[in-house]
Amino acid sequence: MSQPEAGRYLGIALTRVGMLIANGHLTPAENSVGQAGVTTASVEAEKTWRANATIRAKFTRLLKDTINWF
C-alpha cells in the first residue's frame, strides 16, 4: 500500500505516516515497480491499535516516540 493510501486509510497526514515508519509502527515496503509504501498488515495493525488503545497507552506511545527523536 502506498504511503498516501495508508494516510487516507488511517485518517492521518502523510507526514504522520512518515513519523510512524521512522518510529517502527508501520513497516516500510516497496511495490513491484520499486515505489515506496508500507505493508498492509502493519497498516491494519495500526488501525486496530488506534481503535483499541487507551488514552494512557496513546500518551505513553507519544512520549516514547518523542524521546526517540532525541
What percent of the chain has pLDDT above 90? 90
Q: What is the mean pLDDT of residues 7-26?
A: 96
Q: What is the mean pLDDT of residues 25-48?
A: 95
Which H helix or E strand runs over 36? strand 36-38
In which band, very low, low, confident or very high, does the pLDDT at 70 lie, cut at 50, 70 and 90?
confident
Residue 2, judged by CB atoms within 10 A of its CB (0-12, 13-18, 19+), counts as: middle
**Contact yes or no for 31/37 (Cβ under 8 A):** yes
Would you state the pLDDT for residue 67?
A: 92
| Domain that includes residue 16, residue range | 3-68
Does the pTM surpass 0.85? The reply is yes
Q: How many domains does the chain have?
A: 1
